[in-house]
Amino acid sequence: MTSYTHLTIRKREMIFLYHGFGFTIRRIGRLIKRSPSTVMRELKRNTTKFRAYSPSLAQKSYHNNKQKCGRKKILDHSPYKEAIRKLLFEDQWSPEQIANRINLESNESVVSYPTIYRSIYNGLFDEGFPEGSPGTRKMLRRKGRKSVNKRIGDRRGRFTDVKTIHEHPTKAETREELGHWEADTVLGHRGKSCLVTLVDRKSRFLLAGKIPKNDSICVRDMIVQLLSPLNKKQCKTITPDRGPEFAKYKYFSRVCGIDCYFADPWSPWQRGTNENTNGLMREYLPKRSDMTPVSEKYIESVVY
């Protein structure tokens, strides 16, 4: 199968020259090694009653038509464009949240979240931002940055005497009842204050508290503080990741009367509810920001 190539400016100049010599269409086609029908269409397309064939004008017309080819961008003239802009900038929703809400309200698949991501990266919503700046990408959870492999030098996964997530009760996996929690920390500036977050798998209810530093003792005490007011029916299991900050799991498991199960190393999707909630909190508590001066009142406003 041969691949088709468009005429170049050099080929168009040769057509112009040979046509001026009075050569036939077939002879011109043989000389430029193109089909006679290609030569005929080229001359017919770019010749009028009042204007002879011009290679430069034909090339310019080709480039103009080329710009109109291809799939049209869905959101360029969509009635949902301004609604998406408002939800991004004013309500700080993610593209996934926006797409699901619009499709739910319209009762049909109107726009997908990959379409919104493509529009953001193509600069559709960048009006008003300085040229060369990240623009709307700064509104995304990752701020437009690529992910980094953090496994190098990471010692997590060294817990060997623990129950794993694969031993989870069935009702915890199926989210049939309350009391099954996922645990993690939301870090700020290295060595400074951070948050401990607990999210119930069924209700998505969030508990969070600030600790002075990310070590096992502070994390242990905050988990006890957050879970102590709850009754036994609300404290059945807890699933943290394998970070060293959860090394005191035996203590808070015993004090709170809660069974502790650990996710597999480098498997955040096994605790997806907590990971997603932490990502939403990052919109108000960015990475590498110092949480020391952040008040408890502000943290409560973020949580609730």
pLDDT tens column, 292-301:
999 999 999 9
Give mean pLDDT, residues 206-213: 96
At position 7, the amino acid (one-letter code) is L
What pLDDT score was predicted for residue 225? 96
**What DSSP line would sit under 181-233, residue for residue?**
EEEEEE--STTS-EEEEEEETTT--EEEEEESS-SHHHHHHHHHHHHTTS-GG
pLDDT tens column, 228-252:
999 989 999 999 999 999 999 999 9
pLDDT tens column, 50-73:
889 999 999 999 998 888 877 777
144 pLDDT tier (thresholds 50, 70, 90): low
Instruction: Please state which CATH class domain 163-303 belongs to.
Output: alpha beta
pLDDT tens column, 151-180:
555 555 566 778 999 999 999 999 999 999
Low-confidence winner among 39-48, 94-103, 141-150 (lowest mean pLDDT):
141-150
What pLDDT score was predicted for residue 94? 86
* Portion of the chain with pLDDT greater than 70, in percent: 91
Give mean pLDDT, residues 192-213: 96
1 pLDDT tier (thresholds 50, 70, 90): very low
- Rounded CA gap, 197 and 277, in Å? 9
**CA quadruple 100, 103, 108, 111: dihedral sign:** negative
- Rounded CA gap, 238 and 240, in Å? 7
List of residues 6+ apart from 230 with CB closer than 8 A: none
pLDDT of residue 12 exceeding 90: yes
What pLDDT score was predicted for residue 191? 87
Place of tokens 């508290």: 209
- Rounded CA gap, 96 and 89, in Å? 15
- Rounded CA gap, 123 and 111, in Å? 17
- Per DSSP, 259 falls in state E
- Local structure of 180: helix, strand or coil: strand
* Portion of the chain with pLDDT greater than 90, in percent: 57
What pLDDT score was predicted for residue 190? 86
